[in-house]
């Protein structure tokens, strides 16, 4: 059963779902973030008459997502879920950085109501645009009383914030949840639950949203591979980086030259975490240098998690 009499707040941030192209046959040569979220909702007839409240918070291609938008988005979501008449929140977003935004919001807010990110792989002008159905499914999930926390809804699948990742460059079913699998499926506007709904506490940095984004810790990703060198790490340390996530080969293994540079960086106060450049699987086992594993997080998501960890320090 859905909370059809309670308000769903729909927040627009841009992305492909709001993009346009000169031709309906063009799925890649479009310009993102061109139409507003009210127009997106108007294109979904099944949402007509539902109690929706619209906020256009940003209009960006998500490859250009920045911490200023994240901060404003987190504050807007926090205010929305605090209102008793609001059942949940839907956020329209670009696909490129959706997984990072999802984890950021979950880690900072751990909302007690559903916060649902949705997106599209094809622009709004495409002959077979995927945005309208994704948006309708997202509203259905946001109205489900048992849902809580941050999830992503795309191609009929509900993904938890900790697990969701973009796994394909152009397919409409580009997202998956790694080994965990999706939380649920959306079928004809109803949810079929596949595994326990993910829960997770906030990291305790919500109060730090008062900080200007320029004060947030600087964390970068370096990648290990054949012929890896120390110079990139050394340059980042000289420039003042606070944390480094190394996208290692296989089970988080690191080229010896890069490992030496990371050891020097650690000695200068830089925090080092290990992730894998593989698309699936966690990083298992301890490292002799004591560098923590990022678990099943993608390097991009691990970068966000490390930034938040440094904000707690």
Provide the annotated active-site residues: 16
DSSP-H helix ranges across the chain: 37-42, 67-81, 98-109, 131-142, 231-239, 256-267, 299-312
- CA pair distance 298, 305, nearest whole angstrom: 10
Asked if residue 258 lies in contact with residue 265, where contact means CB atoms within 8 angstroms, the answer is no
Asked if residue 159 lies in contact with residue 181, where contact means CB atoms within 8 angstroms, the answer is no
- CA pair distance 148, 73, nearest whole angstrom: 17
Asked if residue 125 lies in contact with residue 20, where contact means CB atoms within 8 angstroms, the answer is yes
- CA pair distance 219, 278, nearest whole angstrom: 20
Asked if residue 118 lies in contact with residue 134, where contact means CB atoms within 8 angstroms, the answer is yes
Q: What are phi and psi of 87, to 5 degrees?
A: -80, -35
What residue has token string 């941050």? 150
- CA pair distance 30, 132, nearest whole angstrom: 17
Picking from 276, 280, 278, 281, the residue whose alpha carbon sits closest to that of residue 291 is 276
């Amino acid at each position: 059963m859905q909370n059809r009499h309670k308000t769903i707040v729909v927040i627009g941030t841009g992305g492909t779902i709001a993009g346009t192209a000169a031709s309906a046959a063009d799925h890649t040569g479009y310009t993102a973030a061109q139409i507003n979220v009210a127009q997106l909702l108007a294109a979904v007839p099944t949402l007509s008459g539902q109690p929706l409240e619209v906020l256009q918070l940003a209009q960006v291609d998500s490859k250009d997502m920045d911490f200023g938008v994240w901060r404003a988005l987190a504050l807007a979501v926090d205010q929305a879920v605090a209102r008793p008449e609001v059942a949940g929140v839907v956020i329209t977003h670009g696909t490129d950085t959706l997984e990072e935004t999802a984890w950021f919001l979950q880690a900072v807010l751990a909302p007690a109501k559903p916060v649902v990110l949705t997106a599209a792989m094809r622009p709004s002008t495409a002959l077979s645009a995927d945005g309208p159905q994704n948006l309708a499914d997202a509203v259905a999930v946001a109205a489900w009383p048992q849902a809580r926390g941050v999830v992503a809804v795309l191609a009929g699948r509900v993904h938890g914030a900790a697990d969701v990742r973009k796994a394909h460059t152009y397919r409409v079913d580009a997202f998956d949840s790694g080994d965990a699998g999706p939380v649920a499926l959306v079928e004809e506007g109803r949810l079929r639950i596949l595994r326990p709904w993910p829960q997770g506490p906030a990291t305790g940095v919500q109060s730090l949203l008062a900080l200007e984004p320029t004060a947030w810790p600087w964390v970068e990703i370096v990648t290990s591979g054949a012929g890896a060198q120390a110079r990139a790490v050394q340059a980042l340390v000289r420039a003042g980086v606070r944390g480094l996530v190394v996208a290692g080969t296989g089970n988080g293994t690191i080229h010896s030259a890069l490992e030496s540079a990371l050891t020097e960086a650690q000695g200068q106060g830089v925090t080092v975490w290990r992730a894998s450049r593989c698309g699936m699987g966690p990083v298992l086992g301890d490292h002799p240098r004591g560098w923590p594993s990022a678990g099943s997080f993608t390097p991009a998501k691990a970068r966000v998690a490390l930034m938040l960890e440094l904000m707690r320090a």
